[in-house]
Amino acid sequence: MRGTFERAILYDHFAKPPQFKIGGNEKAKSSCGFFSTLVLIGCVLFIFIQALITMFRRKDPTVNITESVVDDPPEVSLYSLTMAFGLKSLNSQIQIQANWHYRASAVLGIYQSIPDDGVEGYTETLVELQIEPCTKEYFGEMAEEFLEILEDPSSLFCLPRDQPNFAINGKPGAYEFRIISVGFFECGDVNEGCAPESEREEVLSLVQYSFYYADSFTDTTDYKNPIKKTRRMDMEYSNRGEYRYRETRLFPVKIISDKGLIFEENDEKHDLFIGEQETYRSKTEIAYAPGLFFDQTIMLSDRVKTYKRTYKKFQDVFAETTGMTSIIVLVLAIVISPLLEIKFKENLIKRVYERMGKTYSLHFTCLDWLKSIISMKSAKMKLKALETQAEEFEKRLDISSVISSQLEIESFKEQIKQNDENLRRRIEQLESSIGVGAKLEYNTPRDELKELIDPSHDISISILQDMSAQKVKKLPIIKLSKHN
């Protein structure tokens, strides 16, 4: 049973291997290694604290941007959009006036697909929207920015945000889609409350169309407010008798922020960005309504842009710290490994001298190592002396030398054992010749031997030193001889 158990424990994978020690320590240690350890700890703490600060301050996110195409964009409200439209005459001293030289209107176009003899067509439903002169309040938080370039906001037209049907969806080609059109028409006859023909011709001969809007852009470095607004303005020029058609496509943007410190916790923000804008020019006869000379259509793009922001978590902090620590350890090991090798040799020689009861006076410091690098003679001589002495010790530490010494020790121990056996046999012979039941010990004094042995015998005692023991024992070897 015991033998079976002893064989079983051979498969112990948690067994601790034996280790040599130097000066009571498993490793040779030095002051240089200690200072290098302090440097390592300082660097690791600095990296760890910096990573924690970045994590809690929500800085330097990893941003993944994806853009996809949607066949049928879902409905989106235009409530968050800021848009203003205006006209300015460039060829007349007469100030252009709405409802006197031109009229502005806005409609919501609803289009539904219907099959017509195998050819796809659409039904059109137009819903009139409110359009009115802009006010400072309409621009909200960006009012001051817009007023820097607007002398009079009331000279522009805006679409009130609180009106019904102020939403668009789909795209041309989808089963159903909605678009918003803002148009500028030349005012009609004088009987309709419009300016005379000659005046309209002078004022509208060259006009500047202005489109003011607050566009959005992303700032992924801003943790709380990643979507920001900026003021923009586009201008177009048109002559009387020309028809301009401007197409503005909006595309939704979604920003997903993973704010969890350990697990994923997503927060989403949405907004509309103004994307592609294209302008087409033709004769007014091509316009879909009489007198229409400028038409801006607002529709949805088939693009959807998604930003995924991921911030550092605790596991990222630990991984980053571990990685940087490995690099620092490698660099330190490369830089100070020559000095550590020297200090190991010095420590080994010093401990051996202590065992021999001697004092080793040679001491090689970090400063000596630096001096040896820059080829200072005294330091190089000191290093040479240490390495020469260490080389002798290392020869004895060679595995072949160790095995050879062990074999010699075993042979010597066998000789001692054989000598001990011969001594026991001779003492037994002596005891048998003495008789009287007396026992002789190895350390029996000479006087006691004289009392035990017959006086008719001469006693000759020699001394054998037992080298197999830790300390020398003197063993008596007794020879007897008869008187003549």
pLDDT for position 107:
92
Helix-helix angle 366-373:314-355, to 10 degrees: 100
pLDDT of residue 427: 66
The residues near 39 (Cβ < 8 Å, ≥ 6 apart) are 332
- The reported pLDDT for the residue numbered 131 is 92
Residue spans of alpha helices (H) in 9-142: 31-57
Measured distance CA(368)–CA(342) in Å, rounded: 11
3-state secondary structure of 282: strand
Give the CA distances from residue 184 to residues 87, 107, 280, 412, in Å, rounded to whole numbers and listed in that order. 9, 12, 15, 119
Cα–Cα distances (Å) from 395 to 169, 364, 400, in that order, read: 87, 21, 9
What is the spatial distance between Cα 431 and Cα 425, in angstroms, rounded to a whole number?
A: 10
Encode 81-100 in three state secondary structure: CCEEEEEEECCCCCCCCECC
Pairing between strand 242-258 and 303-310? parallel
pLDDT tens by residue, the chain, 484 residues = 566 666 676 666 666 665 556 555 556 666 777 888 888 899 889 999 988 888 888 888 888 988 888 887 888 888 888 999 988 888 767 888 888 889 999 999 888 887 665 566 778 888 999 999 999 999 988 888 888 888 788 889 999 988 888 888 888 777 888 999 999 988 877 667 888 888 888 888 888 888 999 888 888 888 888 888 888 888 888 888 788 888 888 888 888 888 888 888 888 888 888 877 777 766 555 556 777 888 889 988 888 889 999 888 888 888 888 888 888 888 887 877 777 777 777 777 777 777 777 766 666 666 666 666 666 666 667 676 667 766 666 666 666 666 776 777 777 777 777 777 776 776 666 656 554 444 444 444 455 555 545 555 444 444 444 444 444 444 444 444 444 4
pLDDT at 437: 43
Please check whether residue 82 is in contact with residue 213, taking contact to mean a CB–CB distance below 8 angstroms: yes
Q: How many CA atoms lie within 13 A of 217 on its CB side?
A: 8
Fill in the DSSP letter of residue 284: G
Q: What pLDDT score was predicted for residue 133?
A: 93
pLDDT score, position 28: 62
Position 361 scores a pLDDT of 64
- Confidence at residue 277, expressed as pLDDT on a 0 to 100 scale: 77
- Residue 405, classified by CB atoms within 10 Å of its CB into exposed (0-12), middle (13-18) or buried (19+), is exposed
Structure tokens at 268: 């989403």
Give 44's Cβ-side CA count (13 Å radius): 16
Sign of the C-alpha dihedral computed for residues 213, 216, 217 and 222 taken in this order: positive
